[in-house]
Amino acid sequence: MPPAKSGVAALDDIFQSVDRSDAPGLVVGVAQQGRMVYRRGFGLSSIEHATANTPATRMRIGSVTKHFTSLAVLLLAEDGLLDADAPVTRYLPELPELLGAPTLRQLMNHTGGLRCYVDIQTSAGGMAVQPAGKAFAAQVQQTGANFAPGERQLYCNGSYHLLSIVVDRVAGMPFEQFLRQRIFEPLGMLDSVCAPSDMQILPGMATLHVARPAPGGGIGWRRGIFMTEGVRGEGGIISTIDDMLRWLAHLRAPQKTVGSEASWRQMLSTATLHGGLQTVYALGLFRHPYRGVETVYHHGAVYGGMCQMLTVPAHALDIIIMTNGGPINHIEASRRIIDAMLPTHLHGPATPRLAKSARFKHLFGAQYLSDSGLVFGFADVGGQLGMSMNFSPPAPLLRDEGRQFRIAFEDLAMGPFVLQVADLAAGGDGQAPAVLPFSESGQVMRLKRLPTRPPATASAGQALLGRYRSADLDAEAGIAFEGEVLTLRMRGGYGARHIVLQAASAQVFRMSIQDEQMPGTSALVVERRGGVVTGLRFGTGRARGQHYEKLP
């Protein structure tokens, strides 16, 4: 049997599935010790115009933008114009101080606790494109937060949108201009730009593609357009592989052209929560080991594309992958590149050991309500213990660490979530435990099991019928039976959602979102006073406890 390929010779195999002329693809660049070793485009940059991706194709980098935003804030701190540890309300006094005002640094490391505007806007409007300015308005109108600043860590695009506005006000120029003048131009990143809208046409830019079932079978494509024309420091940068490899070389360099040594030390310092938990997230950058080597990276997702930026500093290995709809796992691909390029420096498995399900059959089908309004469930997934959130399909994410099972922050950009194995044991009746201690970001909450046999929706849903209003979403809703189906219809200023409700208990209802572009599930929690329904709360992973008040 021939030996496995390694080095540059192995890289073509990683991208073989997207090396085609009838579908969107990606661009990839790899440099080692400052030398370009791999630079290729795969697939089409535009199906509509039958043009190919090349190494010069420009693409959105999505959330990889975030650490550029953090550096912009620190550059203004170097200028003496702001304090990264000051509360955000010093610069944005319009924001309500809900459970406390987060600092700029807490916004940068996702410990600020604010709800995310992306989840807020899509909750009521789906993928309806909202104009610039509405993202900030959504953050200002919130009446609650996910948690108090510094208590936990939860990824929040809205935090970085707020940081963009801070830069606007403090720098006296638009955030996008600041990036160009202070970062892109000094480093020669001349093909990079921050563009807030997917409606904007830019030369050399790949079209974003979203796969959809074709009417006659097979795969069709829709144009990917993000749901706001105001995406900024959270994900607005467009770049090329050459510019991004130039940036990664600068990130690793001991002497910086942009930013002081002190600023870069902050950029790479991971957060510590109030409870003492050390996280893997710094200022817009993940930092943790892979098979024994330290990696610094960030990935990004846009509607119709993905990006992975990664460096292995000790071996000067830099990787950038940008897709415009190419069907590939960009994170897994970057790890395979590390495997190929550093075979003699790695040890341990490429993937963590996952929890086996055989001894937890009593958990299968059990659903638990958390204090935050999220619902967690368990199921068997191919012999592994799968976990779901808010009635989503279960996934085998639980890492087996002996006495505990863990979902790392880098897996879901929330948590980490930790379950003690001993707490998962069956109760005296052989059933799933009625109460399950569950740790999120080091904070322990008690999950309460929902009934094995839920009430009939036809009877449980009667109390919910009526009209509702949400200040959090600036939206209205109505619940009614449409035939025998209990339906929730939400309408915001720019779009609407059609949701089917199904009782999981008298207090909790499963939400099934009927939306071709953005289907999904969530959990609806009923509020009562004196036995009478007074409101509803529902949430996503990043915008919890959004409130609807029942109208008379």
- Secondary element (H or E) of residue 338: helix 330-341
**Alpha carbons 47 and 67: distance in angstroms, whole number:** 32
Which residues of the chain fall below pLDDT 50?
A: 1-3
In residues, how long is the chain? 552
Cα gap 191→195, rounded to integer Å: 12
Give me the CATH topology for the region 457-550. Answer: Lipocalin (2.40.128)
Rg over CA atoms, the chain = 24
User: Which DSSP helix (H) or strand (E) runs through 406?
Assistant: strand 404-407
Give the pLDDT score at 310: 98
Query: Which 3 state secondary structure label does DSSP give 194?
Result: strand
According to DSSP, the residues that pair with 449 across neighbouring strands are 368
DSSP assignment string, 535-551? EEEEE-SSSTTEEEEEP
CB 257 within 8 A of CB 189: no
Domain 35-113+148-341 in CATH 3.40.710.10 = yes
The model's pLDDT over 73-106, given as tens digits with 9 standing for 90+, comes to 999 999 999 999 999 999 999 999 999 999 999 9
Do 35-113+148-341 and 457-550 agree at the fold level?
no
DSSP label of 214: -
Domains of the chain by residue range: 35-113+148-341, 358-449, 457-550
pLDDT at 49: 96
38: enclosing H helix or E strand = strand 35-42
Burial 201-228 (b: 16+ CB within 10 A, else e): eeeebbbbbbeeeeeeeeeebeebbbbb
Looking at residue 514, its pLDDT comes to 95
